């Protein structure tokens, strides 16, 4: 009898602990300073998913192409947890001061941005996308590891205007990199001319000679 009571207590403790851990995970996910939504469409004749990431106001995340501790990256996995045959395409990002080194310019996503997932082969079965990024404000940084389920419908609509525009801008930086060259050609430097000071003395007048 005593053994049964002990097992019952341990079972209750395990259930309570599991529930608390699950609730803590949900609270942490809901408190992260960003939101996600997924769009499915046909791009260039291929099925595609567009993962829209919206950082909270005041936050940015490092671009996939940034020289940063945790650049934004997305891994697509099949139902067996193996890499799926998909091309993941990222926007270039915007030049912004680095949180850790304000004098350094880095590529970052400062507003809502898309990550394109294009499938060049038929898709079968459920897929998942593992998102990794570092969200930063001028006060703190929050590492993010989140998994998103993907389920492509049989019939795909055309992409939204926002997705189509962003897809056409892939590979282009949102602002031109800072250059040491002047933005416009400069005129050649003018030579310095020192004004002449008139000589002092009586004025002399010249009269033309009369013909003989």
Give the integer Cα–Cα distance in Å for 57 and 146. 20
Domain boundaries, the chain: 34-168
Q: What is the pLDDT of residue 174?
A: 54
User: How many angstroms separate the first and last alpha carbons of the chain?
Assistant: 154
Residue 173 — very low, low, confident or very high, per pLDDT cuts 50/70/90?
A: low
- Beta-strand runs (E) in the chain: 34-43, 46-55, 60-62, 73-77, 87-89, 94-97, 105-109, 113-118, 127-136, 141-150
Sign of the Cα torsion 119, 124, 130, 131 reads positive
Summarised one tens digit per residue, pLDDT across range 107-155 is: 999 999 999 999 988 887 889 999 999 999 988 999 999 999 999 998 9
Q: What is the pLDDT of residue 193?
A: 37
- Pairing status of strand 46-55 against strand 34-43: antiparallel
Q: What is the pLDDT of residue 201?
A: 42
* 130 three-class SS: strand
- Predicted TM-score (pTM) of this structure: 0.67
Rounded mean pLDDT, 174-191: 37
Q: What is the pLDDT of residue 102?
A: 84
Summarised one tens digit per residue, pLDDT across range 27-76 is: 344 588 999 999 999 999 999 999 999 999 999 999 999 888 899 999 99
Cβ contact 57:167 at 8 Å: no
Least confident of 47-61, 93-107, 181-195: 181-195
Residue 211 — very low, low, confident or very high, per pLDDT cuts 50/70/90?
A: low
Backbone angles phi, psi at 35, to 5 degrees: -135, 160
Smallest Cα–Cα separation from 121: which of 40, 170, 39, 48?
48
Cβ contact 147:128 at 8 Å: yes
Cβ contact 111:52 at 8 Å: no
Rounded mean pLDDT, 8-14: 38
> Among all chains, which residue has been given the structure tokens 């003395």?
201
Q: What is the pLDDT of residue 1?
A: 54
Token pair, residue 194, equals: 């020192």
Give the integer Cα–Cα distance in Å for 91 and 169. 7
The CATH code of domain 34-168 reads: 2.60.40.1250
Residue count (the chain): 212
Residue 175 reports pLDDT greater than 60: no
């Amino acid at each position: 009898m005593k053994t049964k009571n002990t097992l019952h207590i341990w079972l209750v403790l395990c259930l309570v602990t599991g529930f608390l851990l699950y609730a803590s995970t949900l609270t942490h996910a809901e408190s992260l300073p960003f939101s996600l939504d997924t769009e499915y469409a046909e791009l260039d004749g291929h099925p595609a998913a567009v993962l829209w990431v919206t950082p909270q106001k005041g936050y940015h995340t490092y671009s996939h192409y940034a020289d940063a501790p945790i650049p934004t990256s997305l891994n697509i996995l099949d139902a067996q947890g193996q890499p799926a045959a998909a091309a993941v395409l990222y926007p270039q990002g915007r030049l912004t001061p680095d949180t850790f080194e304000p004098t350094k310019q880095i590529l970052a996503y400062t507003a809502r941005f898309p990550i394109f997932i294009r499938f060049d082969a038929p898709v079968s079965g459920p897929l998942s996308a593992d998102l990794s990024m570092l969200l930063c404000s001028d006060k703190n940084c929050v590492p993010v590891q989140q998994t998103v389920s993907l389920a492509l419908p049989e019939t795909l609509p055309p992409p939204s205007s926002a997705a189509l525009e962003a897809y056409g801008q892939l590979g282009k930086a949102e602002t031109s990199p800072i250059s040491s060259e002047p933005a416009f050609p400069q005129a050649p430097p003018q030579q310095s001319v020192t004004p002449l000071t008139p000589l002092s003395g009586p004025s002399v007048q010249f009269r033309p000679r009369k013909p003989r």
